[in-house]
Chain A
């Protein structure tokens, strides 16, 4: 390992600081691509939502109480992840782990409820193969759920890294990126529960 002089430290310091802000912006741009991805799926849902092929309609299959529960759980998870980031700013590790752990549990609950919902729909005969409406519903909501699942994987790996390496520039950066991702997914969910579930029942 190089024994760096203070001059070298300065060059590396600038390089890493620039790298941090570039990574945040780059990840933001990735979230913009995700916006377009979800927009395409939303758009397809909008075009196909009335094509029920004489099968189950949205009014028949959506359980608003379940959706409300899911929504609150995800919102809470988004909130606790923010609290975790705040704790990391002050290097309060045990608080950070508490909030991160809660975020994970809440996120896992969200995915479980969604899987349960999908499973019961399929058993009732309202599978994604039944009609264009159901195909687009499962794909839109399922893509969001898949993103949440990847987020949980991201979070699990991050928690391990935080335990092993503590709060470093790298782990802090990844915590920030996780937060951005997690908040973004809650943002997309707003549009899902509004346009898919709530309007589906109206």
Chain B
């Protein structure tokens, strides 16, 4: 009846019990609060059934912040274990639990924090920057989000019920095969990643069509903001790379559930093929994560230098070049698996080549600032943090791309330091920059600059302290994923420094969360007193109110240049009185959240071999789809008169905000 689910699945070590307890208490508190403030209807109509990408983007960010807490907690546990577990001491985590923690840390951070961050940004920014009212496929977009949320929920469930995978964030066989990981852990991992992956693929398709087909009149491809270009390239990578992951995960699942022999040690299976396939996806994946963040900096640097981006065409070419080459480097993740020198050298050279366009981009950002009027706002500070940390980590990447060097430091803490530099220095700092930059646009409030600055210093200092010693440790022979080491290695003091760095990072994160709450608590002081353009922006999103109306633009803009808002601000003619027209927008729908919830059930049932429940939920998902894909297309209509009313009230509100400045 319940497959292999027993009450044993609910028994955990003390620290895990505390986490589960915390989750349950938070959940109950949330439900209580929503009921107390009578907000269920509002939640359902305004958020859970929405197809508005601005709302969906905010929901992505909420999930990202929650999952960031989880992933960060995992990281702190790893640091604490590695500072305690030396010599005679065994630390506070058992070996098995430690393996679950580092596997969960990677899985959570990559699939939920990083991927969620880029999709959140795409939802929020792309339609506004291309002068569109909506995305191409609002339903598919919402579905993509709810699948993402379902996978995140399954991830949290795996903390409470049963155990997670112990095979790392990529679950290599034979360790992840049934023989060596017989319990539900790897199955959880497979379905969490699979459901999230399908959501990502759907969202990727949606945004590629949106960018190619829904730009406003006059916005040719070579006039788009570079952020949109970077998302275009990222979605191309998503569309081409994620199916590889989907297929590979199915094959691993078939090995485990149907006794097939793709990657087994017997029956002719070849587990090296798994490593090959997973990295054929995995390498494009890291470019999927970083390209939008490059795009974010391409928006922030010109705005806070009051100068247009240097070398627009070379930026585009660099993006396209990176997109293509990212498919020809994947073997550098497994130089040591045993390929011949010729094969290793080929991929090593390709990896070195792919660093070149990134270098071009960095120089272009620097040349943009040269002779510009630079404003050291917090988004710009995050750019500097990125510049230092990402570039240094990138250079260690060049080191790693040389196979003989990689043979020395592969899977050591040197590697860990490298990729954290890329992901934290690039993706996370990019996300922080985007968050502080665009927060005013979607809320109407500017985040507290003092707290932002304090957080920046904590992250910068903490990162250097927490990760630079890891390079040294790697050279000293420290392998990754160690739950214990001997005292005579001499590593202990470095691990202490690293742990202190982690605590400083934690302080940075705390300040950021506090800053968010403080901004909301003391909102009057943080009100955006401009007409929705606190940074004197250059692109179309800054021409709307903060937050923008549901239809984004009352009249679709017509552009003629890059940085169209900058052109408009410095134009000689007065803007004409807008002629309002009727606006059609897609209707809200409950189908995406239903399908998301059913996917959660399906994932859970499949993990625990509750086959009847899995079959039922799968059929229900199909039924949802069939119901949705039958019948006529439906829209809501906002008449021209209603648009005029909304626009007038927004104008008045802006005047009111500006007047606060005088009081």
Do A and B touch (CB < 8 Å)? yes
Chain A interfacial positions (CB closer than 8 Å to B): 2, 7-8, 11-12, 15-16, 18-19, 21-23, 25-26, 29-30, 32-37, 39-41, 43-44, 47-48, 51-53, 128-136, 138-139, 153, 157, 161, 165, 168-170, 174
Residues of A within 8 A of B267 (CB): 51, 53, 129-132, 135
Does A52 lie within 8 Å of B268, measured CB to CB? Answer: yes
Interchain CB contact (< 8 A) of A29 among B209, B244, B273: B209
Shortest beta-carbon distance from A123 to chain B in Å: 17
Shortest beta-carbon distance from A10 to chain B in Å: 9
CA gap between A18 and B209 in the complex, in Å: 11
Residues of B within 8 A of A15 (CB): 584, 635
Q: Which residue of A lies closest to B633 (CB)?
A: A170
A29-B208 contact given A12-B635, A18-B213, A36-B240, CB 8 Å threshold? yes
Does A131 lie within 8 Å of B239, measured CB to CB? Answer: no
Q: Does B571 contact A (CB under 8 A)?
A: no
Interchain CB contact (< 8 A) of B213 among A21, A37, A138, A165: A21
**B:240-271 near A, CB below 8 Å:** 240-244, 246-248, 250-251, 254-255, 258-262, 264, 266-270
Interchain CB contact (< 8 A) of A22 among B136, B629, B631: B136
Residues of A within 8 A of B582 (CB): 7-8, 11
CA gap between A135 and B240 in the complex, in Å: 24
CA gap between A128 and B251 in the complex, in Å: 12
Does A26 lie within 8 Å of B206, measured CB to CB? Answer: yes
Residues of B within 8 A of A32 (CB): 239-240
Q: Does B645 contact A (CB under 8 A)?
A: no
Does A47 lie within 8 Å of B261, measured CB to CB? Answer: no
Does A22 lie within 8 Å of B137, measured CB to CB? Answer: yes
Does A133 lie within 8 Å of B584, measured CB to CB? Answer: no
CA gap between A139 and B249 in the complex, in Å: 13
What are 22 A-B pairs with beta-carbon distances under 8 A?
A: A7-B581, A8-B582, A25-B209, A26-B136, A29-B205, A37-B247, A40-B243, A44-B262, A48-B273, A51-B267, A128-B260, A129-B261, A131-B267, A131-B268, A132-B267, A134-B261, A136-B262, A138-B260, A139-B251, A139-B262, A165-B631, A169-B633
CA gap between A21 and B137 in the complex, in Å: 12
Shortest beta-carbon distance from B559 to chain A in Å: 19
Q: Which residue of B lies closest to A11 (CB)?
A: B582
Q: Does B277 contact A (CB under 8 A)?
A: yes
Residues of B within 8 A of A30 (CB): 205
Q: Which residue of A lies closest to B134 (CB)?
A: A15
Shortest beta-carbon distance from B262 to chain A in Å: 6
Does A44 lie within 8 Å of B273, measured CB to CB? Answer: yes
Shortest beta-carbon distance from B565 to chain A in Å: 25
Interchain CB contact (< 8 A) of B244 among A16, A36, A165: A36
Shortest beta-carbon distance from A57 to chain B in Å: 12
Residues of B within 8 A of A26 (CB): 136-137, 140, 205-206, 209
Does B259 lie within 8 Å of A37, measured CB to CB? Answer: no
Residues of B within 8 A of A136 (CB): 262
Q: Does B356 contact A (CB under 8 A)?
A: no
CA gap between A44 and B251 in the complex, in Å: 10
Chain B interfacial positions (CB closer than 8 Å to A): 136-137, 140, 201, 205-206, 208-209, 212-214, 239-244, 246-248, 250-251, 254-255, 258-262, 264, 266-270, 273, 277, 581-584, 622, 626, 629-633, 635, 637
CA gap between A44 and B243 in the complex, in Å: 14
Residues of A within 8 A of B251 (CB): 44, 139
Q: Which residue of B lies closest to A5 (CB)?
A: B582
CA gap between A14 and B477 in the complex, in Å: 64
| Centre residue among B208, B213, B633 by max chain A CB count within 10 A | B633
Besides A26-B209, A44-B273, A53-B266, 11 more A-B contacts (Cβ < 8 Å) are A22-B214, A29-B209, A44-B251, A48-B262, A51-B267, A53-B267, A135-B267, A139-B250, A153-B622, A161-B630, A169-B633
Residues of A within 8 A of B584 (CB): 11-12, 15
Residues of B within 8 A of A53 (CB): 261, 266-268
Residues of B within 8 A of A33 (CB): 201, 205, 239-240, 242-243
Q: Which residue of B lies closest to A174 (CB)?
A: B629
Residues of A within 8 A of B206 (CB): 26
Residues of A within 8 A of B255 (CB): 135
CA gap between A33 and B240 in the complex, in Å: 6
Interchain CB contact (< 8 A) of B633 among A19, A51, A138: A19
Does A135 lie within 8 Å of B633, measured CB to CB? Answer: no
CA gap between A118 and B136 in the complex, in Å: 41
Q: Which residue of A lies closest to B244 (CB)?
A: A40
Q: Which residue of B lies closest to A26 (CB)?
A: B209
Residues of A within 8 A of B273 (CB): 44, 47-48
Q: Which residue of A lies closest to B238 (CB)?
A: A33
Does A132 lie within 8 Å of B630, measured CB to CB? Answer: no
A135-B243 contact given A48-B270, A48-B273, CB 8 Å threshold? no
| Centre residue among B209, B214, B242, B264 by max chain A CB count within 10 A | B209
Q: Report, nearest first, the 8 A-B pairs whose CB atoms are least far apart.
A: A51-B268, A132-B268, A36-B243, A135-B260, A40-B247, A37-B243, A132-B261, A53-B268
Does B201 lie within 8 Å of A170, measured CB to CB? Answer: no
Q: Which residue of B lies closest to A2 (CB)?
A: B637
Does B213 lie within 8 Å of A23, measured CB to CB? Answer: no
CA gap between A21 and B214 in the complex, in Å: 11
CA gap between A168 and B632 in the complex, in Å: 9
Shortest beta-carbon distance from A33 to chain B in Å: 5
Shortest beta-carbon distance from B254 to chain A in Å: 6
Q: Which residue of A lies closest to B209 (CB)?
A: A26
Shortest beta-carbon distance from B232 to chain A in Å: 13
CA gap between A151 and B43 in the complex, in Å: 37
Residues of B within 8 A of A34 (CB): 243
Q: Which residue of A lies closest to B213 (CB)?
A: A22
CA gap between A78 and B560 in the complex, in Å: 46
Shortest beta-carbon distance from A63 to chain B in Å: 23
Does A40 lie within 8 Å of B277, measured CB to CB? Answer: yes
Does A29 lie within 8 Å of B254, measured CB to CB? Answer: no
Interchain CB contact (< 8 A) of B261 among A11, A22, A135: A135
Residues of A within 8 A of B583 (CB): 11
| Centre residue among B209, B250, B268, B584 by max chain A CB count within 10 A | B268
Residues of B within 8 A of A52 (CB): 268
Shortest beta-carbon distance from A13 to chain B in Å: 10
CA gap between A134 and B254 in the complex, in Å: 12
Shortest beta-carbon distance from A98 to chain B in Å: 23
Residues of A within 8 A of B213 (CB): 18, 21-22, 25
Does B247 lie within 8 Å of A41, measured CB to CB? Answer: yes
Shortest beta-carbon distance from B536 to chain A in Å: 33
Interchain CB contact (< 8 A) of A23 among B137, B212, B247, B261: B137
Interchain CB contact (< 8 A) of A47 among B264, B266, B270: B270
CA gap between A37 and B214 in the complex, in Å: 28
Residues of A within 8 A of B269 (CB): 48, 51, 132, 135
Shortest beta-carbon distance from A48 to chain B in Å: 6
Shortest beta-carbon distance from A131 to chain B in Å: 5
Residues of B within 8 A of A129 (CB): 258-261, 267
Does A51 lie within 8 Å of B270, measured CB to CB? Answer: yes
CA gap between A11 and B637 in the complex, in Å: 11
CA gap between A40 and B262 in the complex, in Å: 12
Does A11 lie within 8 Å of B246, measured CB to CB? Answer: no
A29-B239 contact given A18-B213, A139-B254, A168-B632, CB 8 Å threshold? yes
Shortest beta-carbon distance from A5 to chain B in Å: 9
Residues of A within 8 A of B258 (CB): 128-129
Residues of A within 8 A of B241 (CB): 36
CA gap between A114 and B636 in the complex, in Å: 46
